[in-house]
Structure formats: structure tokens, C-alpha cells
Amino acid sequence: MSEVSSILEWTLAEECPIPNDVNELLVEGEQAVAAYKTLRDSAIFTNKRLIVRDVQGLRGKKVEIYSLPYANINMWSSENAAGFLDFSAELELWTRAGHIKVNLLKGIDVRKLDRLIANCVLGK
């Protein structure tokens, strides 16, 4: 389980176009909704799950894919200061796999992600 603890926190830097190659990961009826850049990676929110692509190695040829189905989310919280000095926000997810923290840098709409998760988890 020590390896899992290293994946329990991600920082999203800015929204970006949905990568073309993500379509090969999607199942029937699944649609990519939004994508965000991390340092070297990307996170894609679909209507069914969160997909995080972890580029590894110096040349970035190895890519590890993490997939968190929204069905596994037991509880979540979102937080932002919504003020002049609001440089970041947080989205925390409690799942069967453990506690996952997603840091959102300035400019990312935490409420958009909050609504997406709510619609996917509660709208069934």
C-alpha cells in the first residue's frame, strides 16, 4: 500500500484542451468533459471517472494511467477562499481506495468540478 500513498495528491495547474489520445481509454457512453495540466501530466474528467496520466522517465515515453470511477466516491469536499488572495482551491475525495486530494491553482473553477462530481455521483 505504500505505492498508493504517492498517488493520493495531484495539483492541477490550468484547464487545457482534451487530449486526442484519451478517446482510446473511454468506454461506450463515456465522454471527456474537461482536461487539466499538471506539471508533466494531465487529468481528464469524464462523465464516469477521473483519469490521471502520469508521464514518467526523463524522456516521458512511459505513461502510467490512474482511473478513479466516480462510483467509488463515498464523500467529497471543495474549498476555496473566493477572495482577492485566492491562489488555490482544493477538492478532496474519500473513496474505497482512500483519501485523494486535488489541489487547484488559481483560475480553475472548483465549482465546475464540484457540480460535475455531484451530477455523476448523485444523478444516477
Q: What are the E-state strand segments in 18-116?
A: 32-37, 42-46, 49-56, 62-69, 73-80, 88-95, 98-105
CATH 1.20.58 fits 2-122, yes or no: no
Helices (H), the chain: 2-5, 110-122
Question: Could you tell me the sign of the dihedral formed by the alpha carbons of 35, 15, 124, 97, in that order?
Answer: positive
Distance CA 78, CA 116 (A): 12
pLDDT tens column, 70-102 = 999 999 998 886 655 556 789 999 988 889 999
CA proximity to 38, closest of 69, 11, 56: 11
Burial, 28: exposed, middle or buried (Cβ in 10 Å; 0-12, 13-18, 19+)? Answer: exposed
pTM of the model: 0.82
pLDDT of residue 65: 86
> What residue spans define the domains of the chain?
2-122
